[in-house]
Amino acid sequence: MDSHDETCRQSPESRILFHQYSDEHNCPFNYRTAARDAIAKANPVVKTKKLDKI
């Protein structure tokens, strides 16, 4: 794939020509939320009791 011919994450069927960065073509895709969700999904929260009950 040519570096100037990439798909947008918001709508993969649309082609972006000559715009590598999301801010150059006003992409509405929220990278921060997507990264936060991916990290949360890959690392589930593990909770245990801190002290044993007697």
Per-residue pLDDT tens over the stretch 1-54: 444 445 566 665 555 554 566 666 677 778 899 999 999 999 988 888 888 777
Q: Which of 14, 40, 18, 44 is nearest to 29 (CA)?
A: 14
DSSP label at residue 23: G
Helix (H, G, I), strand (E, B) or coil at 17: strand
pTM of the predicted model as reported, rounded to 2 decimal places: 0.49
Helix (H, G, I), strand (E, B) or coil at 32: helix
